Amino acid sequence: MLRRTNIIRAIVVIAVLVATWAILGTAVAQKAAVPKPQDKLALGENEIKQLLLLIGTDKNGKISKQEWMKFVEAEFDRLDKDKKGQLDVEELAQSKLRVSHPVNVGK
């Protein structure tokens, strides 16, 4: 009986060690997969440049308040399918940003 108890204890200890190793291994892998803050900025930089070129009509790489307001107003009008001056859930759910003119990134 004592020998059987020792075997069960050994199996439980091994199972706990394996589970701990698996949890720690997963945590390390997840931490390694998370980009550093500077990498996160670099990951979105191309999209930001595209957005600047999409919204900025004078193509100077900057967005003025006038350009921003014109873009937002045009997008609102495009999304407002029933032309009531309000966006409802269905209109917003179906929204997708469309490029109305070609965008050349990096030029």
Please return the burial class of 53, using the count of CB atoms within 10 Å of its CB with bins 0-12, 13-18 and 19+.
buried
Which residue type does 62 have? K
Rounded Cα–Cα distance for residues 100 and 57 (Å) = 11
In angstroms, the Cα distances linking 100 to 57, 66, 70 are 11, 18, 13
pLDDT in tens, 15-47: 777 777 777 777 666 666 666 666 666 667 888
Q: Among residues of the chain, what percentage have pLDDT more than 90?
A: 4
pTM surpassing 0.85?
Answer: no
Rounded Cα–Cα distance for residues 61 and 63 (Å) = 7
